[in-house]
């Protein structure tokens, strides 16, 4: 087993955070395979924790436990079982995030449940070398029809791992239909965003019921139409779903037909350009939803990402009718909540709009985050009410 001795004082941060960075380590003793369990101690020899090691990563160790406990199959089974029991205690039954990595004390492991299918991501070497064992545990606990891997995520390259996806167990149903908030949805776990769908917005999609009844709605960056479908369910008069992806819009149409919704129209366009075109054409809406992809994924792109968020929010505000509602999101961890609020304040100023902040929301409860792990608190959703 490897033993890593930290530099003086570094244990203070690591006692509240599961990542040990290579530059925090004073020395490494012992030898083992990469991905194996390593012991971490403070500069004066005090036990800090056990985690798996990868010399190729800047995060050299990801802490699994701070107790002197065996890290074996039973350890992982109990952790996954505890994570699932927490979700079930909140009322989740069919479609939810079962395991959320570090926040469930299982660093770099993601598991999502879509009906009788599980979709998993192994985002680090330490989890990847335990793939067979974890798959076996998931079969034991859930008896799924299929376990599908979506480890086609760029972060794996930082771990020296290839991007990969495919069936790990059972048979994939390419016509998989789930139910969310009483709405039927066809999910593409093989090619859809993330693990097939944005489960983290489930409760935020439900909350729009308070704002959309008898309203005209513009859903920007609509993807598979989650917000549009919920708007239709909650009584919106007319919904326009906009996205640059033709494949996403086909999914919107298919899901609308699946639910018998006939008041959703689709527009294939670059949303930045579309908002400007609508302004020129004097189009306006009662409710606008902005759920863009992350415009900033690293600390050195925050400035440019901020400009992107500011741009779409300014132009969306200009299209709202008096008394209208803006429901706007950011899924970038690097655009912090204070920055997000600052951007919205600036957008109101530049658009000549006065607004009240009605709600601030974050990711669904199945994506609860470990306090101190700011990296996991990524989703921000604000509801603004436009003043006359």
Q: What is the pLDDT of residue 298?
A: 83
Compute CA distances 347 → 295, 326, 362, whole Å.
Answer: 16, 12, 20
For 333-366, the pLDDT digits (tens) are: 889 999 999 999 999 999 999 999 999 999 999 9
- DSSP, collapsed to helix, strand or coil, labels residue 74 as helix
Q: Residue 356: give the domain boundaries.
A: 198-386
Q: What is the pLDDT of residues 233-263, one digit of tens each?
A: 999 999 999 999 999 999 999 999 999 999 9
Residue 299 has pLDDT above 90, yes or no: no
Overall average pLDDT of the 5-15 stretch: 94
C-alpha 30: how far from its chain's center? Answer: 37
Same domain, 261 and 358: yes
User: Given a cut of 90, is residue 177 above it in pLDDT?
Assistant: yes
Q: How is residue 300 annotated by DSSP? A: G
Q: Indicate whether 193 belongs to any domain.
A: no
pLDDT in tens, 33-69: 999 999 999 999 999 999 999 999 999 999 999 999 9
What is the arithmetic mean of pLDDT over 126-150? 98
pLDDT category of residue 300 using cuts at 50, 70 and 90: confident
pLDDT of residue 237: 98
226 and 357 housed in the same domain: yes
User: For position 165, what pLDDT does the model report?
Assistant: 97
146 assigned to active site: no
So what's the pLDDT on residue 345? Answer: 97
The percentage of the chain sitting over the pLDDT mark of 90, rounded to a whole number, equals: 92
Annotate 278-317 with DSSP letters as a single string.
Answer: HHHTT--EEEEEE-PPPS--SGGGHHHHHHHHHHHHHHHH
Question: Is the pLDDT at 1 greater than 90, yes or no?
Answer: yes
| Extended strands (E) in 54-116 | 59-65, 95-100, 109-114
Position 388 pLDDT exceeds 90: no
* Residue at 206 is within a domain: yes
Q: Exactly one of 220, 222, 329, 331 is catalytic; name it.
A: 331
| CB atoms closer than 10 angstroms to residue 165 | 16
pLDDT at 296: 85
Q: What is the CATH classification number for the domain harbouring 56?
A: 2.30.130.10
Q: How far apart are the first and last CA of the chain?
A: 67
Q: Pull the structure tokens for residue 259.
A: 């639910």
Q: Is residue 191 part of a domain?
A: no
Average pLDDT in the 205-214 region?
96
Q: Does 133 lie in the same domain as 277?
A: no
| pLDDT mean over 101-118 | 97
Q: Are residues 381 and 258 in the same domain?
A: yes
User: Binning pLDDT at 50, 70 and 90, where does residue 192 land?
Assistant: confident
Distance CA 69, CA 246 (A): 51
Per-residue pLDDT band at 105 (split at 50, 70, 90): very high
CATH number (domain holding residue 322): 3.40.50.150
Is the C-alpha dihedral spanning 257, 224, 148, 79 positive or negative? negative
Residue 112 sits in the same domain as residue 38: no
Q: Which of 116-130, 220-234, 370-384 has the lowest mean pLDDT?
A: 370-384
Instruction: State the pTM of this model.
Output: 0.93
Strands 216-220 and 285-290 come out as parallel
What phi and psi values does residue 202 have, to the nearest 5 degrees? Answer: -50, -55
């Amino acid at each position: 087993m490897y033993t890593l001795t930290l530099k003086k004082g570094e244990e203070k941060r690591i006692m509240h955070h599961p990542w040990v960075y290579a530059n925090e380590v004073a020395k490494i003793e012992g030898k083992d395979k990469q991905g194996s369990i390593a012991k971490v101690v403070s500069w004066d020899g005090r036990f800090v924790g056990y985690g798996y090691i990868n010399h190729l990563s800047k995060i050299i160790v990801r802490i699994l436990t701070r107790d002197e406990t065996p890290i074996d199959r039973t350890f992982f089974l109990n952790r996954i079982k505890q994570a699932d029991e927490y979700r079930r205690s909140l009322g989740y039954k069919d479609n939810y995030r079962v395991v959320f990595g570090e926040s469930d004390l299982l660093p770099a492991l993601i598991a999502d449940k879509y009906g009788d299918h599980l979709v998993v991501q192994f985002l680090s070497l330490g989890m990847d070398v335990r793939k067979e064992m974890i798959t076996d545990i998931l079969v034991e606990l859930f008896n799924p029809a299929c376990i599908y891997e979506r480890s086609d995520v760029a972060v794996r390259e930082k771990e020296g791992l290839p991007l990969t996806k495919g069936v790990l167990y059972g048979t994939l149903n390419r016509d998989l239909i789930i139910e969310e908030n009483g709405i039927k949805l066809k999910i593409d776990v093989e090619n859809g965003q993330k693990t097939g769908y944005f489960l983290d917005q489930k409760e935020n999609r439900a909350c729009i019921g308070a704002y959309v009844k008898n309203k005209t709605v513009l859903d920007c960056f609509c993807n598979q139409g989650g917000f549009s479908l919920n708007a239709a369910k909650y009584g919106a008069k007319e919904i326009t779903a906009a996205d640059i992806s033709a494949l996403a819009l086909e999914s919107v149409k298919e899901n609308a037909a699946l639910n018998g919704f006939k008041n959703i129209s689709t527009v294939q366009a670059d949303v930045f350009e579309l908002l400007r075109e609508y302004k020129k054409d004097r189009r306006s809406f009662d409710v606008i939803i902005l759920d863009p992809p992350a415009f900033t994924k690293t600390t050195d792109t925050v400035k440019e990402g901020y400009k992107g968020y500011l741009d779409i929010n300014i132009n969306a505000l200009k299209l709202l009718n008096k008394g209208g509602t803006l429901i706007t999101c950011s899924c970038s961890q690097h655009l912090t909540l204070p920055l997000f609020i600052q951007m919205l304040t600036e957008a109101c100023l530049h658009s000549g709009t006065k607004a009240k902040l009605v709600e601030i929301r974050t990711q669904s409860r199945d994506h609860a985050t470990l306090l101190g792990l700011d990296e996991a608190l990524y989703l921000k959703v604000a509801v603004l009410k436009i003043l006359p």
